[in-house]
Every structure is written in structure tokens, then in C-alpha cells.
């Protein structure tokens, strides 16, 4: 009897393993991808790949700029948003999709120079919004990323 149980379990495992995961990520309101919480580059890349339309290209550019500016940056997806930080020190930046723009959140944004333009209800947080038609000032964004990475990170 135990031999039959082993064979059945092996068949179930084989069938499950043979099915490719072709499910598309769910887009939440405003087009923000629903990606499972995870640490490392893989969940961030899954989020970027699931960003709708023009936002995915911008997501790739943002990720490359952050990775280039902060070698060894720590990445995760939490609350359906990619986070970037310094391991053991906390998060300095988050990204979130909305219907008409991408929001880059600098968790200690009021300490950056110049201060990013988007205000927040949270005292230190500042936002930078990227719309489809915007010309991205990568030099300014890289300067903010570099400054933000040197400040105490947010524990989440």
C-alpha cells in the first residue's frame, strides 16, 4: 500500500511541476501590479515586467539607474511596491504605479537637495511623479538616489 501512495504522490508532483506558471499578475486599481511579497531582484523584476504599457519601460530605466547609482542595493517587493535600500539599514526609496503616473517615494525626501516636488502627509517623505510624456532627468534622479541611499533608512 505504501508503494502505491508513493507512486500517486510522484504522479501528482510530476503533473504539478509540468504545468508552467502562465498566470498574469493581477493589476490593482490604477494599474499597480499585485506581486507577492519577496526579497531580492526577482520579485522586483516581476513587478517591473507586470507594469502596464509605458510604465514597464520606465520601471526598467529606474531600476537600472538605482542599481548603477547604488551598487549592491537591497531590493524587495512589499505592499505591491518595489523597495530599495541598504541591507541592515532600511529602505530609502519605493516605487508605485498609478493610472496616469509612476510615483517614486523618497522616505527621507525632505533631506534631499533640491527637495523632490511632491509633498506627502508624512513629515519626511517626498514624491517624484513620472508621467508618460515626461522627459526623465536621469542626472537629477541619480543625485536624489545617491543622497537618499546615504541617509538613515526607513524600517518597514
- Of the chain, the percentage scoring pLDDT greater than 90 comes to 75
Is residue 108 over pLDDT 50? yes
Sequence ranges of the domains in the chain = 27-149
Is residue 4 over pLDDT 70? no
Q: How far apart are CA 103 and CA 106, in angstroms?
A: 10
**C-beta of residue 128 within 8 angstroms of C-beta of residue 104:** yes
**C-beta of residue 56 within 8 angstroms of C-beta of residue 27:** no
pLDDT recorded at residue 32:
82
Residues 26-84: pLDDT tens digits? Answer: 777 777 888 889 999 999 999 999 999 999 999 999 999 999 999 999 999 999 999 99
Is residue 100 over pLDDT 60? yes
**Residue 76, C-alpha cell as written in the block:** 524587495
If you average pLDDT over every residue of the chain, what do you get? 87
For 114-123, what is the mean pLDDT? 95
What letters, b where the CB count within 10 A reaches 16 and e where it falls short, cover 131-148? eeeeeeeeeebeebbebb
pLDDT recorded at residue 23:
61
pLDDT recorded at residue 156:
81
Is residue 143 over pLDDT 90? yes
pLDDT recorded at residue 64:
98
Residue in the structure block whose three cell numbers are 543625485: 143
The domain at 27-149 falls in which architecture? Answer: Alpha-Beta Complex (3.90)
Amino acid at each position: 500500500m505504501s508503494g502505491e501512495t508513493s507512486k500517486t504522490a510522484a504522479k501528482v508532483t510530476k503533473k504539478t511541476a509540468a504545468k508552467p506558471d502562465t498566470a498574469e499578475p493581477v493589476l490593482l486599481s490604477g494599474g499597480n501590479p499585485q506581486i507577492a511579497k519577496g526579497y531580492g531582484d526577482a520579485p522586483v523584476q516581476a513587478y517591473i515586467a507586470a507594469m502596464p504599457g509605458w510604465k514597464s519601460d520606465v520601471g526598467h530605466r529606474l531600476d537600472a539607474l538605482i542599481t548603477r547609482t547604488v551598487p549592491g542595493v537591497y531590493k524587495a517587493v512589499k505592499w505591491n511596491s518595489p523597495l530599495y535600500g541598504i541591507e541592515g539599514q532600511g529602505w530609502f526609496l519605493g516605487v508605485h504605479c498609478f493610472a496616469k503616473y509612476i510615483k517614486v517615494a523618497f522616505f527621507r525626501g525632505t533631506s534631499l537637495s533640491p527637495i523632490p516636488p511632491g509633498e506627502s502627509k508624512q513629515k519626511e517623505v517626498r514624491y517624484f511623479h513620472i508621467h508618460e510624456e515626461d522627459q526623465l532627468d536621469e542626472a537629477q534622479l541619480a543625485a536624489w538616489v545617491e543622497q537618499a541611499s546615504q541617509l538613515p533608512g526607513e524600517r518597514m
